[in-house]
Amino acid sequence: MIPAMLHETLLADARAISGDIVALRRAIHAEPELGLHTPRTRDKVRSALAGLPLEWRAGPSTTGLVGVLTGSSPGPRVLLRGDMDALPMPEETGLDFASTVPGAMHACGHDAHTAMLAGAAKLLCARRETLAGEVLFMFQPGEEGYHGARFMIDDGLIGGGAFGPLPDAAFALHVMPNAPHGVVAGRAGPLLAAADQLDIAVEGRGGHASMPHQTLDPVPVACEIVTALQAMVTRRFNAHDPVVVTIAKIEAGSAHNVIADRALLKGTMRTLSAEHRGRLHAAVRQLAEGIAAGHGLKAVVTITEGFPVTICDPRAVDLVQAVTGELWGPQAFLRLADPIMGAEDFSYVLEQVPGAMAFLGVSHEGEDWTRCCGIHSTRMLVDESVMPGGAALLAALATRFLERGFD
C-alpha cells in the first residue's frame, strides 16, 4: 500500500495547486483547437509547466508533447496521458470561460484531462528525489477521430526506438459528467469498443417518379439494406461479444417527383473484439452488395477504420482500484460490469503497453447525475472541484507503479 502520509500529502498538495489546475483548464476551454495540431493548447501546457525538471519531446506529425521526468535513481517507466483537442460543435453552457472559437467546444473533457495531467506533473516533479524510474506525461492532440495517439507512437515519442524502450505501464483518466461525483470506474478487458465508419453508395438509374419501372430506384434498396443490417447483427453475431451497426444518415433525391440515381448511407460499426471486427466488415460488404445485385443495382461499400478496442490489463485495473481505495476509501471505485460502446484512441497505447483507462465522475456534488448532460453535449459541464483529486490519482498511480510495479 502507498503510505497514508503520502496519500494525505498528495491530496493536500493537489488541493494547494487547484487554482493552477482550474486556471489551465479554463484557458484551454476558452480557446478550443481541433485535430492533430493544437499549438495554442501546447503552448499553454508548456507555460504552465515552465521551470520544472522535464525533458520535452515533440514529433513531426502532431503538436503533441511528451514530458519526461527522470527520478533520482533508475527504475521502471510509467506513462500518464491526457488528450488536448476539442470537438467541431457550438457551445451552449453559458460559462464565463465558454469557447471563443465559433463551432468548436471542449465537450469531451479534454481540457480537464490536460489540466489534471499538468497537475500530476507538478506533484511528481516536486517529489522527483523520491522517485526511482521515469514518468512520461503524454499531452496528445487528435483524439477525436484523428488517431493522434497512433501518430505520436509512430513518431517514437513514447519509446520503442531512439528514446529507449516503451513504458512498462500506462494510465489515463476520462471525465464522465453523467456519473456520480468523484467516483472512479473501470473494468478489466474490453472497456471501450472499436469504432469504424461505414459508407454505402447504392448506385441505380434515376428517372421520373411516375414511371419507376423505367428506372433502377436506389431508395427502396437502401432501405432494405438498413433493415437487413439489423437482422444480420442479431442473427450472425454472438450477443455475448456485442456488435452495433447504426445507419445515422440516409441521403437521396432532389425533388418529390424524381427518382435519384444513387442513395448514400452513412453510419458507424462498433465491436469489442478483433475477430468480430473483421467478420463484421466482411459481412456488411456481402450483405449490401448482395441485396443491391439482387435488384439489379450496385452497392459500393467503404469502411474507414477507426480506433481499435480499448483493452485494459487486469493488473492495471486492480492497481487503479487499490490506489483509489487508498486515497478515498473502497466506495470510491466502481468496477463496471459491461463495456461501453464508445471508442478511445488511448487504445493504441494499450496495444503497446499494459495499462488502463478509468472514468472519473465530474457531476456536481448533490446533483442528480443521471440527468446531467453527457460528453459531446453542447451543454456539458464539469465540476472542477473533482479535478485536483484526478491529478492526485494520476500522481499516485505513477508513484505506486514505480515503487512496486503491478504487485
Whether residue 81 contacts residue 138, with contact meaning beta carbons closer than 8 Å, is answered with yes
Q: Which residue has the cell 441521403?
A: 251
Which class does domain 4-191+310-404 fall in?
Answer: alpha beta
Predicted pLDDT of residue 2: 59
For the CA atoms of 356, 65, 183, 378, the dihedral, rounded to the nearest 10 degrees, stands at -120
Q: What is the mean pLDDT of residues 188-205?
A: 97
Does residue 1 register a pLDDT over 60?
A: no
Predicted pLDDT of residue 5: 59
Lowest mean pLDDT of 5-9, 57-61, 392-396, name the range: 5-9
Lowest mean pLDDT of 4-13, 73-82, 211-220, 332-341, name the range: 4-13
The rounded distance, in Å, linking the Cα atoms of 245 and 70 is: 46
Q: What is the mean pLDDT of residues 148-175?
A: 95
Pairing type for strands 243-252 and 262-271 reads antiparallel
Q: Which residue has the cell 484512441?
A: 345
Nearest to 353 by CA among 166, 193, 189, 173: 166
Predicted pLDDT of residue 6: 65
What's the CATH architecture for 194-305? 2-Layer Sandwich (3.30)
Q: What is the mean pLDDT of residues 168-183?
A: 96
Percent with pLDDT over 90 in the chain: 93
Each residue's pLDDT tens digit, 108-134: 999 999 999 999 999 999 999 999 999
Each residue's pLDDT tens digit, 26-80: 999 999 999 999 999 999 999 999 999 999 999 999 999 999 999 999 999 999 9
Q: Which stretches of 170-271 are DSSP H helices?
A: 218-236
Does residue 8 register a pLDDT over 90?
A: no
Predicted pLDDT of residue 198: 98
Whether residue 273 contacts residue 310, with contact meaning beta carbons closer than 8 Å, is answered with no
The rounded distance, in Å, linking the Cα atoms of 399 and 76 is: 11
Q: What is the mean pLDDT of residues 306-330?
A: 96
> 153: which 3 cell numbers?
507512437
Q: Euclidean distance between the first and final Cα of the chain, in Å?
A: 10
Does residue 375 register a pLDDT over 80?
A: yes
For CATH 3.30.70.360, the residue range(s) in the chain are 194-305
Average pLDDT, rounded, for the chain: 96
Does residue 336 register a pLDDT over 60?
A: yes
For CATH 3.40.630.10, the residue range(s) in the chain are 4-191+310-404
pLDDT interval class at 372 (50, 70, 90): confident
Q: Which stretches of 191-273 are DSSP H helices?
A: 218-236
Q: What is the mean pLDDT of residues 358-367?
A: 94
What DSSP designation does 261 have? S
Q: Which residues, 6+ apart, have CB-to-CB distance to 401 below 8 Å?
A: 76, 78, 168, 169, 319
User: What's this model's pTM, rounded to 2 decimal places?
Assistant: 0.94
For the CA atoms of 182, 173, 273, 264, the dihedral, rounded to the nearest 10 degrees, stands at 100
Predicted pLDDT of residue 161: 86
Helix (H, G, I), strand (E, B) or coil at 172: strand
> 365: which 3 cell numbers?
456534488
Which residues are paired to 58 by β-bridges? 65
Question: The dihedral of CA 142, 145, 149, 153: what is its sign?
Answer: negative
The rounded distance, in Å, linking the Cα atoms of 87 and 205 is: 38
Does residue 4 register a pLDDT over 90?
A: no
- CA distance readout (Å), 178 to 122, 221, 227: 28, 39, 32
Predicted pLDDT of residue 162: 84
